[in-house]
């Protein structure tokens, strides 16, 4: 299964594509950063994120997307810009036909490192070890995207099993009402 992990941001959007087959550990296929210059108007920056991500989805052909949720910032402008970026990211993934899962930063940290309050450096090191990378992934936006994809690979099977169980329970209730 090929997963596209994304760490949204208006200035820098980190992305990573991981591939996992069977019991083998996940493999990093590609990763990078979508950078938008601050001198550009907001709409141009958002278009650049959308176009870059749409092109990436066509080229890499991931099966699902895992996107980090926006955390609350003390700076309203920063939060608004990140939310705008996340919106076009969601749109690009939807237009690309990808099922989307969103994870808050704490869940990602807890799932990957065992601690919901893990520091950036600790997360980068855990990602490096998990993916058997020669060096710590840089910048941290890219490492965060890798972590989002790893989180999804660990949690998605449980979410799918739960959804299937709930659907089965609903079928049983419907049969029982005949």
The per-residue pLDDT string of the chain (178 residues; one tens digit each, 9 = 90 and over) reads 999 999 999 999 999 999 999 889 999 999 999 999 999 999 999 999 999 999 999 999 999 999 999 876 677 778 899 999 999 999 999 999 999 999 999 999 999 999 999 999 999 999 999 999 999 999 999 999 999 999 999 998 876 776 777 776 655 555 555 4
Place of tokens 């807890």: 110
Task: Confirm if 32 and 40 have CB atoms less than 8 A apart.
Answer: no
b vs e for 42-53, b when ≥16 Cβ sit within 10 Å of the residue's Cβ? eeebbebbbebb
Close Cβ partners of 170 (under 8 Å, ≥ 6 residues apart): none
Q: List the catalytic residue out of 19, 64, 140, 141.
A: 141
Q: Three-state SS across 3-67?
A: EEEEECCCCEEEEEEEECCCCCCCEEEEEEEEECCCCCCHHHHHHHHHHHHHHHHHHHCCCEEEE
Residue 19 annotated to the active site: no
* Domains of the chain with bracketed CATH: 2-176 (3.30.420.10)
Task: Confirm if 112 and 126 have CB atoms less than 8 A apart.
Answer: yes
Q: List the catalytic residue out of 19, 68, 140, 144.
A: 68
Residue 68 annotated to the active site: yes
Report residue 151 as tokens.
């989180």
Q: List the catalytic residue out of 7, 19, 140, 144.
A: 7
Residue 7 annotated to the active site: yes
């Amino acid at each position: 299964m090929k997963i596209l992990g994304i760490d949204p941001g208006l200035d820098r959007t980190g992305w990573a594509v991981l591939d996992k087959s069977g019991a083998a550990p996940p493999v990093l296929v590609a990763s990078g950063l979508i950078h938008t210059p601050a001198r550009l108007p907001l709409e141009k920056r958002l278009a650049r994120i959308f176009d870059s991500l749409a092109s990436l989805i066509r080229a890499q052909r991931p099966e699902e997307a895992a996107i980090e949720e926006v955390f609350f910032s003390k700076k309203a402008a920063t939060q608004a810009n990140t939310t705008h970026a996340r919106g076009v990211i969601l749109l690009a993934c939807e237009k690309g036909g990808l099922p989307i899962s969103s994870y808050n930063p704490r869940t990602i940290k807890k799932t990957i490192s065992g601690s919901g309050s893990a520091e950036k450096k600790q997360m980068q090191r855990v990602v490096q070890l998990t993916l058997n990378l020669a060096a710590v992934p840089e910048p941290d936006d890219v490492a965060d995207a890798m972590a989002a994809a790893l989180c999804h690979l660990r949690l998605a099977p449980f979410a799918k099993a739960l959804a299937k169980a709930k659907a089965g329970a609903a079928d049983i209730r419907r049969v029982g009402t005949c």
